[in-house]
Structure 1
Amino acid sequence: MDQNFIIVHVSEKLKLIRVERGYTQEMMSSILGISKKTLVQIEKKRARANWTTVIAICALFNDSDVLHSVFGRDVFQLIKTIAHHQLEQPEKKDLNRESIVGKY
């Protein structure tokens, strides 16, 4: 499970999370700090939420049965683990040995 997996699944479930809480699109977009247009695009699967929005959703709706059904009970802990794990895994550089040796 990685950041992209979380983004995809939270984006796909956003409308269900909103409806579960009984919020209108206007209310939900205001709570998340995104435009209604962006929310509609995500709900219609024309766009995905960005990582910051996903973190906000998981923090603000940590008690959502919809989120629990996908990620288990401690959604926010999962988000924290993934976020911190990315910092600990620096990108590996593919160095061509010949190009390094050839310079010297």
Structure 2
Amino acid sequence: MEKEQVVQEIAKKMKLIRTEQSLSQDRMAEILGISKKTLVQIEKERTLPGWNVVVSFTALFENSEILQNTLGNEPLEVIRLVTFGTPEEPYGKTMGGKVWWREIDSQSGYTLQQNLISQHYRIIDQQNFRWYSTFDQNEALERFKQLIH
């Protein structure tokens, strides 16, 4: 998933999530630090939000069912991955991927999974800490091989 794709997906869902959260356009615009006019343009799909708005929106509404169905159960992980690339050390405790993840391989205390919605890959350890995330399958497989040996 590229930054532009994330922006487009979030833009398409902003009105639904605003409604899901029972927020008026005035209140949502205030929360996001944008004008109501800008929010209306985004909701009518006449313009796209900036990356800062997308990041703020995702952080503030990460528990939204609609947002989770759009980016997977950990939307901030997708934002971090698109922003920073792949981490080189364990970060972030996960829930282990019981619902939104397909297990690809599990060896030597590490599990390689793929998110069913965003299609990105991650490696977690036995305590469910995330060691690596990427959208590239070959990178994920290579890092997995490094960790298990």
List alignment gaps of at least 5 residues for structure 2.
87-149
Name the amino acid aligned to 1:26. Answer: D
Residue 38 of structure 2 corresponds to residue 25 of structure 1: no
Query: Residues 72-93 of structure 1, C-alpha deviation per residue, up to 9 Å, x if partnerless?
Result: 110011101110029xxxxxxx
TM-score normalised per structure 1: 0.80
Query: What SS does the corresponding residue of 1:34 show, helix, strand or coil?
Result: coil
Query: Residues 19-50 of structure 1, C-alpha deviation per residue, up to 9 Å, x if partnerless?
Result: 00000000000000000000000000000111
Cα separation, 1, equivalents of 2:77 and 2:69: 15
Partner of 1:59: 59
Partner of 2:10: 10
Q: How many corresponding residue pairs?
A: 86
**Structure ID, larger Rg:** 1
Cα separation, 2, equivalents of 1:53 and 1:75: 14
- Between 1:6-15 and 1:77-86, the stretch displaced more is 77-86
Query: Residues 43-66 of structure 1, C-alpha deviation per residue, up to 9 Å, x if partnerless?
Result: 000001110000000000000111
Name the amino acid aligned to 1:83. Answer: T
TM-score normalised per structure 2: 0.56
Q: How big is the alpha-carbon RMSD for the aligned residues of Structure 1 and Structure 2?
A: 1.1
Hey, which of these two has a bigger chunk of helix by percent? Answer: 1
Q: Which has the higher contact order (CA 8 A, sep 6+)?
A: 1
